[in-house]
Chain A
Amino acid sequence: MRTLLILLTLSLPTAAPADDNGIVFIDGGDWELPIVREVATGSGRVDDFLLDARQVTNAEFLDFVRAHPEWRRDRAPGIFRDARYLSHWPQADALGESNARPDRPVTRVSWFAARAYCRELGGRLPSMTEWEYASERQRQSVGTSPEDYARELFSWYANPGAGSLRSVAEGEAPGLGIHGLHGLVLEWVEDFQLVLGRGDDIDLLTGSCGDTARFLPEFDEAHYATFLRFQSRSNYQPDTTTSTLGFRCAYDPE
């Protein structure tokens, strides 16, 4: 069904916002990541891309698992997912209540599983740059102030609502037509780890202490709120699953 939607969307004029089940076209541009990596490289080019308007749901991931039983939690090889992969589902191929409801974002999925899902749909995970670009464009489009953005994110870090996630795509999609980039779950991206130079050594931002100022062009709350997202993602492993980590897919324009 999602494949069909992609085709439909692609046939639409490029600026059209998606409906609740759809895919949003993001027109590219010159852009600089809000987190400085290594050396300030200035702005880079973000190409046009398509992004799911919302996170993948339990129902959709269940369809995927049924079609590809090798991704069932009792069959997926251990190197591709940690021990809690899909553990919130009452059975390996059945949904349930609370965070296991069909309309909730699928969580407890590894990077490997998320990639496999998107590939199956003819898509891929968004790159870190694409995801962050969409986030910033969305903020601009909605007119969210840096202070409100920071307040919402810090509130989410403090109380991520892990025990009772809301459903995806609640209400009208604002701005570019994208639902819930912030405040529901953190999302996998293709290149989720920051690779940082440290002399001859490299680091994935796992080292201790004091490495924050290197990455922040400004020390305001909004940049810290963004930094924490980069930092958290960077310290995951590809087999990591958590109760607040989901994903959505991206697609290349034809």
Chain B
Amino acid sequence: MTLFKSPAVATLTLACGLAAGGLSASDRLVHDGEFMVDGMIFGLPEARVYTEDYSGPPVVGDYLTAVPHLAELDYDGNRTHEVRMDVISQQIEVAPGKFYNAWTFGGSVPGPTLHVREGDRVVFTMKNRSDEPVVITEPVAGGSPFFGQIQANPIQNHQPAISPMPHSMDFHSGTVAANDKWQTIPPGVTIQFEWVANYPGVYMYHCGTPSVLMHTAQGQYGAVVVSPKEGFPVEADREYVLVQSEFYLTEDEYSGGYRYDHAAAMARDPSQVTFNGHVNALHDEPLRANAGERVRLYVLNAGPSGTSSFHVIGAIFDRVWYEGNLENEWRGMQTVLLGASNGAVMDFIVPEAGSYKLVDHEFADAERGAAGTLVAGPRKQ
């Protein structure tokens, strides 16, 4: 799968668009009150909060995938994405035998990865369905590619759960008034708002409802990848999304299972630290590549509170674009430090056939699960 879009093609598209008058500044402004600063769009309309009779797929949109997959941007220039990610409760496993009732966007932890292009507009809809059981492990008509990928690799063994709670959505990729767009909605209510991907990057989204520590530690986060409009300067052969996060679980004497441990979360003492939501996620289904290939990782450290010193054993990051912005290019990095909610695009060239461990080089985290594997085949000519 090649997701790369060459700068030459992008430039050509832009030029054609301008020649046809299709990309003028005013055409990108949709609603009254919107304005542009330095080519970026601000002043988006107020969020709409309403009730709807909706019981369809909790994740809708062609560019929403389950980690480590990233959707291909199979269109030129900019477009508007209609995206739905409903809040649902779900029992998930994060390590063998360690189940808990997670609060999620779309049913997995981390939630679906949204891929858009810099300048794209997102019309986002979210219903708080925390008070109804929602199954995500059966085929869904009208759902996003996310469901097929979850069903192909159901490592979290998702089971519907009910845990009515107020929730909200905060996209770090959006530039808006948070008290409006990121407002909390009760169970049964839907919110719809827009944001424009003004900056490229690997962004976190999460529930911002207090206690935000509990809501995020319960599983409400995921990644938005905003690819730069001019594309990356080098072509990648493989692209994968990695989301690192901590879990704070303790045995629950009442249910016999596990539950969130607030004292441990406050003390930053996680029970598990994972890549893509399970200590075995990238061991049972390792990432794949071949010798000589350029692997591009979109890495987000979702926290909620820890840092990640991301490293690939046996490789050096040829190029790193911190926060996924081409202006922030580093070369020859052994480790990339990501604070909570920092992201980066990291390229490395696979040296030879073999097994490459991906780790948080803060070894206390690696020991608790922040490790994975990339299996490399022989060089393909």
Evaluate contact between B131 and A206: CB separation under 8 angstroms. no
| Proximity string of chain B (163-183) to chain A, C-beta cutoff 8 Å, 1 when within and 0 when not | 111101010000000110011
Interface residues on A, range: 35 or more
Given contacts A207-B183, A235-B209, contact A241 B254 (CB under 8 A): no
The contact of B211 among A82, A84, A227, A243, by CB within 8 Å, is A227
Evaluate contact between B162 and A155: CB separation under 8 angstroms. no
Given contacts A155-B259, A201-B179, A235-B186, contact A245 B164 (CB under 8 A): yes
Distance in angstroms from A10 CB to nearest chain B CB is 36
Judge whether B260 is part of the interface by a CB distance below 8 angstroms.
yes
Query: In the bound complex, how far is the Cα of B252 from the Cα of A150, in angstroms?
Result: 12
Evaluate contact between A208 and B252: CB separation under 8 angstroms. no
Judge whether A160 is part of the interface by a CB distance below 8 angstroms.
yes
Query: In the bound complex, how far is the Cα of B373 from the Cα of A121, in angstroms?
Result: 65
Evaluate contact between B209 and A162: CB separation under 8 angstroms. no
Evaluate contact between A243 and B51: CB separation under 8 angstroms. no
Evaluate contact between A228 and B214: CB separation under 8 angstroms. yes
Evaluate contact between A203 and B188: CB separation under 8 angstroms. no
Judge whether A236 is part of the interface by a CB distance below 8 angstroms.
yes
Tell me how many residue pairs across A and B have CB atoms closer than 8 Å.
127
Q: Which residues of B, 144-159, contact A by the 8 Å Cβ criterion?
A: none
Given contacts A158-B100, A235-B184, A242-B188, contact A228 B211 (CB under 8 A): yes
Evaluate contact between B163 and A158: CB separation under 8 angstroms. yes
Evaluate contact between A84 and B188: CB separation under 8 angstroms. yes
Give 6 nearest A-B pairs by CB, closest first: A208-B208, A235-B166, A158-B259, A242-B164, A162-B162, A206-B184
Judge whether A244 is part of the interface by a CB distance below 8 angstroms.
yes
Evaluate contact between A240 and B186: CB separation under 8 angstroms. yes
Query: In the bound complex, how far is the Cα of B214 from the Cα of A219, in angstroms?
Result: 13
Chain B residues near A231 (CB, 8 Å)? 166, 209-211
Chain B interface mostly: loop
Binding site for A on B (CB under 8 A): 51, 53, 100-101, 131, 133, 162-166, 168, 170, 178-179, 182-189, 208-214, 252-255, 257, 259-263, 266
A-B residue pairs in contact (CB < 8 Å), sample of 30: A82-B188, A83-B51, A84-B131, A155-B253, A158-B101, A159-B255, A160-B164, A162-B162, A205-B184, A206-B184, A207-B179, A207-B208, A208-B170, A208-B183, A208-B208, A209-B170, A209-B210, A210-B212, A211-B210, A212-B210, A224-B211, A225-B262, A227-B210, A231-B166, A235-B209, A236-B166, A237-B189, A240-B188, A241-B188, A242-B188
Chain A residues near B263 (CB, 8 Å)? 221
The contact of B254 among A83, A152, A235, by CB within 8 Å, is A152
Given contacts A160-B162, A235-B184, contact A155 B179 (CB under 8 A): no
Given contacts A150-B262, A212-B210, A212-B211, contact A242 B187 (CB under 8 A): yes
Question: What residue of chain A has the Cβ atom nearest to residue B259's Cβ?
Answer: A158
Question: What residue of chain A has the Cβ atom nearest to residue B130's Cβ?
Answer: A242
Chain B residues near A221 (CB, 8 Å)? 262-263
Chain B residues near A156 (CB, 8 Å)? 254
Question: What residue of chain A has the Cβ atom nearest to residue B255's Cβ?
Answer: A159
Distance in angstroms from B193 CB to nearest chain A CB is 13
Question: What residue of chain A has the Cβ atom nearest to residue B164's Cβ?
Answer: A242
Evaluate contact between B178 and A158: CB separation under 8 angstroms. no
Judge whether A163 is part of the interface by a CB distance below 8 angstroms.
yes
Distance in angstroms from A144 CB to nearest chain B CB is 15
Given contacts A221-B263, A235-B184, A235-B186, contact A151 B210 (CB under 8 A): no
Query: In the bound complex, how far is the Cα of B128 from the Cα of A232, in angstroms?
Result: 13
